[in-house]
Structure 1
Amino acid sequence: MGEIRRVKGCCPLDCQDTCAWVAEVEDGRVVAVRGARDHPFTRGVLCAKVNDYEARTYAPDRLLHPLRRAGPKGSGRFERISWDEAVATIAARFGEIAARHGPEALLPHRYLGSMGVVQRRAPMRLFHALGASRLAGGICSVAAQAVAGEGFPLGFDPEDMAESRLVLLWGLNLLTTCHHHWHFVQEARRRHGARVVCLDPVRTRTARQCDEHVALRPGSDAALAAGMARVMLEEGLADLDYARAACADLDAFAALVAPWTPERTAEACGVAAETVLRLAREFAAARPAVIRAGVGPQQSAQGEAVVRLWHALAILGGHWRHRGGGVLVIATPGLEDMRADRADLIPAGASPRALDMARLGAILTDPAPDPPVKGLMVWGTNPAVVQPDAGRVRRGLAREDLFTVVLEHFLTDTARYADIVLPSTTQLEHFDILGAWGHQYITVNLPAIAPLGEAKSHGEVMRLLARRMGLGHPAMRESDEEIAASALPPGVSLEALREAGWVKRHKPPPRLEGAGLRLVRGDAVPLPAAPPAAGMLRLLTPKAHFFLNSSFANQPRQQRAEGRPTLHMAPADAAARGLGDGEAVRLRNAQGAIGATLRVSDAVPAGVVVLPGKWWSPPEEEGAVANLLCPPAWSPGGQPAYNDVFVEVIGAAAAPPAGAPRGASP
């Protein structure tokens, strides 16, 4: 055995924890990836998804060479080509499209498959320099971002939760999605005897570890918050001095929530009136209390209303006055990573259109846009699985006149529709810098090994294409280190970050006095969406414990641990349909139909079914891609309504014969 070399790095994935890790390298091969013991958030522990990340790098089905399509789109049939051929083909096709249809016929599509500055941002320099269509919007936490645009804070340092006296985990399965935050919840219990309450329709692994689980009806979060606010105002429990100092419309808000008596709230939410009263009184009495809010309640047509009402509760309680109090949705270290996009490269006088990434299906299939999108590059996301209206996305990707390039580690559902697939480096093979959306640390990732095969970083892909397309701006020649350094805030140097591995950016807590915030944006508190027809059940699709969105859904260990696609249903609903535990079932609605295995469980409320995980659909097989059932629906701020989906569930034996194309209506 050779000497073990330890290399500092971090997890790249779309998770609030953004863990620091140490890669152990022996004889030129990474043999283990371990959580950094000295990192105050990671504390030496990685999650069940990434604690063997090296298996991803060395996976036998890893993409290591450029590929060119050799069969119908979606078939997954490709032939190996050289990087020279790939770059020449992409440059020629993108050049032809821009010349014939205008540069706005080119579209970049990316998300948080890697949150690294280089891997996420570098290719945007190419598209900005070409004058391509810009990317706008998002598919997650859009509601929170929209409300933040109204002046409400997104959160505070999550380590301050240790000072909370009451923690409401609202729509958040903390122990599956960002378990390192549990450190600080537990610390609040130890220091202050804090009560921890989980508000979630499903009895999750987090709910089972809390002092209380409030199983509210899906989509009733706004109603519950309104009912709690009414109690606080009616019983004189609100900090009115603070609320008036922060808000410009407190009287209008009081009128808005006045109809929400505990009895009406209880009926809307499926909980007892006594629970509404007790939650409101406990929340008002704690000094401080925190609403540690999740993404799930935002993913409906009423997403912004929910976030605004969370803030209303925190303001009425005066909790922002105290360390560890308020609303915590997102926390960031202030990494200025958008600077790495280099929007200043957009040609002078040009004003390219902005296209909402959440509406990719419509963008690719609607004949109205002028010009239509003819050239697409996808990286850091798997839109054929994770986008709403996924069937329409797939129909768009199947267009023969759409030239598509995908940068990937594996042949995902999306990559199977590509004309050219480029092999991307994994986090163990490149340099990068990451911020976070769940804490205040900036972390460096040092390459532990050289890239395997012919994989390249996204910075190198940008440089190769820019050179071939004659884009000579100096920004198109910058190294990955220079690209990453461009995002660092004042006072943080690349050299110091390399040495330390991470640095915390201390930011003062929000002050809302004098902010003139407006709590009312509409004339009523929204109610939960109703089923479109009798017998239909609301479908929830929470994150799986062993997958991160669609990442790892193809990895053997994670697949074994997660099992097969499983639909969880309440006993009464199963009995009403004559369905039994372990039975093969079909979920269907006007969007499409998918299959799963039924699990009858009292952890799920009546009227609801739960399908965890973003599953792939293997070639020539039907996969349990839940977003094939998700219609095109959004909140006013543009949040996809993933949780406003209703389905019929029947036994697979009773389903019509197979043969309809995936994503088609049954």
Structure 2
Amino acid sequence: MSRPHLTHWGAFQARSDGTRLTDVQPFPGDPEPNQLIHNVASAQHHPTRVDRPYVRAGWLERGPGPAPGRGSEPFVPLDWAEAEELLGAELRRVYHDHGARKVFGGSYGWGSAGRFHHAQSQVHRFLNTLGGYVRSFGTYSYGTSEALLPHILGDAWAVIRGSTSWEQIERHTDLVVAFGGISAKNAMMSSGGVARHRIRGRLARARAAGTRFVSISPIADDTPPEAEAEWLAPRPGTDAALMLALAHVLITEELADHTFLDRYTVGYHKFAADVIGQGRTPEWAAARTGLPAARIRELAREMAAGRTMISVSWSLQRARFGEQPLWLGVVLAAMLGQIGLPGGGFGHGYGSSAYPGEGGSAISLPALPQGHNPVREFIPVARISDMLLNPGAPYEFNGQRLSYPDIRLVYWCGGNPFHHHQDLARLREAFTRPETIVVHDPFWTATARHADFVLPSTMTVERDDFGMGNADAELWAMPALTAPHAQARDDYTIFSALAARFGVEREFTEGRDARAWLEHLYSTWRKDLPDFETFFANGVAELPVRPADQVLLADFRADPEASPLPTPSGRIEIHSATIEGFGYQDCPGHPVWLDPGPEPEDRPLYLLANQPKSRLHSQHDVGAHSRATKHRDREPLRMHPGDAAARGLGDGDIVLVRGERGACLAAVRISDALRPGVVQLSTGAWYDPDPADPAFCRHGNPNVLFADLPTSNLAQGCAGAHTRVEVTAYDGELPPLSVLAPPPSQSDA
């Protein structure tokens, strides 16, 4: 019998022989099925699955301590009892000798679409039971937005979750100006899962209704063909210059809505005076963006002529000074006076994930309680290397003067920082500093290979759970489809056994096994749904749906006194006195153009390191669908025909991509969907460093190329969207890969 399952990238139905998935088909109700579902079955029993507990040989021989050999030493297989005893003793030592402020609880939350077996919730609950941990703030995806938006609009999640609905855009919008495009591949994903993909249909219906799209991106297919979008391709990193020039036209041609600006915003006149005083004209912007000044001027007039939605993708704020284009998107929408109107105003994240603009459920889902964390120390999520390399060092963050904690033990569960982070050679050095690193993972990812304890966790198809995506209004049962691979256990079972060794099993489990927790969370959450057993047998429960006529900040527009924004002024802050008071040169009190510095002559190409089409982040990179997109097992690098010809390169050639901090191999794919001078290499290829040079990835991970720099002192966000590179033919013998097999164990060494 075929049974349902939900992943972050889609729902599917599968048959199983009890050990393997024998047939995987898309959920019949999905109008735009995602082929990533086929990575699951092919990855499940890949040789890189972790089959049993392991401990690094050097840790076993010498005990805890900084370890230059992490990432290169063999591992020793253990049985579960041995692993629990060793790890339990080490946790007891660290908490007793150093305290909870020396433990970092790392997790990125993408380990499962399920609500109970949510790795981030599990590890945080466990560490809180032991006494707490140092946490991280924000996300790599939109961490800059999470810090900035509260100052200028209010809660970042409310802005993203409360986006004007696609139904309103279809009915009311004349023009969508999409900075960063509206990417279909990113809209296939959602935290918590997504059952129905709709982005192509949404764009097609809006276009048929008369909405015109302008996609502003160096990549043409950042917006699907259904939108029939005009493509404007600026140089990467110059969106702020373009936005300032658009503002200049609105100011000088008296197209700004001063009635709206006077009632709903603060600081406009400071901003406008600076735009005029600094001469941010279309001609000035043309020299930086490469776009014609006449087209910039005409676009501003078009924006003011009808109902316009200013859409800013998450990609724009994932760059050095990423606060500026995001802030300017809000400012442009305010100048047009359409914030809070149906189909107009500002949107953040259309095409960045599945849920912006979608209705979804009107109620929130149950979650595993994580308990109380008494530790106040935290770091911005993208500052993990800085923390491990510079304990005690001061740094600025969002108006606070903080210092990095001195971490002795890292416990990572449900994430792969060697995918998300930049300057991987530096991150590898950082991972040598703690005394002990513990990782739960189904696979031998780079993070697992740089750990001391590696505990095999189950994949989602190997355990019972339930889940729902942010864009959906159905709760999905997620029954185990197969037995666990080898000796893999779910995180809850692992933590329950460790908690028992501390004498805190009751506090962690509350006397429930995993199935009992599922029933408890479900039954105490909703009394108006079928009982748990009926729900789990049926496979789905319908939930209340949010209205389809949602308009961002409609209540604020209707009455800003009765419904003020949660900003210091209660208004939209075009100029923020709070941010100005921080005194940050890299993020002043209103949005400006910040010069990125001279262009390196030896790296003439712009590289865009965007999200991949063939997987979510780095998940299941060994799956059949992901590997089918590679050439000779190297990640594809898209290149404009003119740039390839100038370097004597052809389609399929293996090339060396050299960046600011390192180099990697890739396989050329010729494409005219790129602006000349721009190449594109997606993130997510598992990091495979050369043994003699950790800054050289043999597989094609672009994060070895980037400097590990924050967006600014305000957000300390990830700045991994683009960098400068050179691409040349690789003439040497193609080096072997190590990521397609498990690391050596002691018996093999």
Q: Do the two structures share a fold, i.e. TM-score over 0.5?
A: yes
Deviations 1:43-93 (A, max 9, x none): 3x4312224533333445433422233475323733432222222222111
Letter in 1 for 2:217: D
Deviations 1:489-520 (A, max 9, x none): 97687757756445355265333332411113
Deviations 1:387-413 (A, max 9, x none): 1222111122234x5312211121111
The answer to whether 1:558 aligns with 2:629 is no
Counterpart selection for 1:10 from 6, 9, 16: 6
SS of the residue corresponding to residue 174 of structure 1 reads: coil
Map of 1:142 onto structure 2: 143
Query: In structure 1, how many angstroms separate the alpha carbons of the residues matched to 2:366 and 2:614?
Result: 30
Counterpart selection for 2:657 from 576, 587, 591: 587
Letter in 1 for 2:321: Q
Deviation at 1:641, TM superposition (A): 1.0
Map of 1:444 onto structure 2: 476
SS of the residue corresponding to residue 286 of structure 2 reads: helix
- 1:155-174 residue pairs with structure 2 within 5 A? 155-156=162-163, 158-160=165-167, 161-163=169-171, 164-172=173-181, 174=183
Deviation at 1:137, TM superposition (A): 3.0
Map of 1:66 onto structure 2: 53
Map of 1:245 onto structure 2: 263
Letter in 2 for 1:535: D
Deviations 1:126-155 (A, max 9, x none): 112322212223211112222332225224
Map of 1:392 onto structure 2: 426
Counterpart selection for 1:328 from 331, 339, 347: 347
Q: 159-168 or 634-643, which moves further after superposition? A: 159-168
Map of 2:397 onto structure 1: none
CA-atom RMSD in angstroms = 3.5
Distance 1:450 1:173, change over 3 A: same
Deviations 1:187-223 (A, max 9, x none): 2123x12212221112226365533111011111122
Maintained 8 Å contact 2:102/2:407? yes
Map of 1:278 onto structure 2: 298
Distance 1:411 1:589, change over 3 A: same
Query: In structure 1, how many angstroms separate the alpha carbons of the residues matched to 2:25 and 2:170?
Result: 25
Distance 1:474 1:19, change over 3 A: same
Query: In structure 2, how many angstroms separate the alpha carbons of the residues matched to 1:395 and 1:502?
Result: 49
Query: In structure 1, how many angstroms separate the alpha carbons of the residues matched to 2:469 and 2:527?
Result: 16
Map of 1:197 onto structure 2: 214
Query: In structure 1, how many angstroms separate the alpha carbons of the residues matched to 2:717 and 2:251?
Result: 30
Letter in 1 for 2:213: V
Query: In structure 2, how many angstroms separate the alpha carbons of the residues matched to 1:127 and 1:627?
Result: 30
Task: List alignment gaps of at least 5 residues for structure 1.
Answer: none
Map of 2:746 onto structure 1: none
Counterpart selection for 1:380 from 404, 414, 419: 414
Deviation at 1:430, TM superposition (A): 2.6
Task: List alignment gaps of at least 5 residues for structure 2.
Answer: 59-68, 189-196, 350-355, 394-403, 566-570, 577-587, 692-696, 740-749
Distance 1:74 1:423, change over 3 A: same
After TM superposition, the score normalised by the length of structure 2 is 0.77
Map of 1:542 onto structure 2: 610
Q: 613-622 or 542-551, which moves further after superposition? A: 613-622
Query: In structure 2, how many angstroms separate the alpha carbons of the residues matched to 1:557 and 1:171?
Result: 26
After TM superposition, the score normalised by the length of structure 1 is 0.85
Query: In structure 1, how many angstroms separate the alpha carbons of the residues matched to 2:249 and 2:185?
Result: 33
Deviation at 1:639, TM superposition (A): 1.5
Deviations 1:453-481 (A, max 9, x none): 33222233332222222225545435546
The answer to whether 1:113 aligns with 2:131 is no
Percent of counterpart pairs with the same letter?
25
SS of the residue corresponding to residue 175 of structure 1 reads: coil
- 1:77-476 residue pairs with structure 2 within 5 A? 77-114=74-111, 115-118=113-116, 119=118, 120-129=120-129, 130-150=131-151, 151-152=153-154, 153-154=159-160, 155-156=162-163, 158-160=165-167, 161-163=169-171, 164-172=173-181, 174-179=183-188, 180=197, 181-190=199-208, 192-204=209-221, 206=223, 210-258=228-276, 259-287=279-307, 289-330=308-349, 331=356, 340=368, 342-344=370-372, 346=373, 350-368=374-392, 372-399=406-433, 402-434=435-467, 436=469, 439=471, 441=473, 443-452=475-484, 453-472=486-505, 474-476=507-509
Maintained 8 Å contact 1:65/1:82? yes
Letter in 2 for 1:107: F
Map of 1:634 onto structure 2: 710
SS of the residue corresponding to residue 3 of structure 2 reads: strand
Maintained 8 Å contact 1:361/1:389? no
Maintained 8 Å contact 2:698/2:735? no
Q: 103-112 or 607-616, which moves further after superposition? A: 607-616
Counterpart selection for 1:614 from 684, 687, 707: 684
Maintained 8 Å contact 1:544/1:612? yes
Query: In structure 2, how many angstroms separate the alpha carbons of the residues matched to 1:557 and 1:294?
Result: 26
Query: In structure 1, how many angstroms separate the alpha carbons of the residues matched to 2:381 and 2:474?
Result: 27
Maintained 8 Å contact 2:240/2:325? yes
Letter in 2 for 1:637: A
Maintained 8 Å contact 1:546/1:558? yes
Deviation at 1:601, TM superposition (A): 4.4
Letter in 2 for 1:165: D
Map of 1:47 onto structure 2: 34
Distance 1:325 1:451, change over 3 A: farther
Query: In structure 1, how many angstroms separate the alpha carbons of the residues matched to 2:183 and 2:26?
Result: 18
Deviations 1:603-646 (A, max 9, x none): 33344332123211448673322111211211231221113522
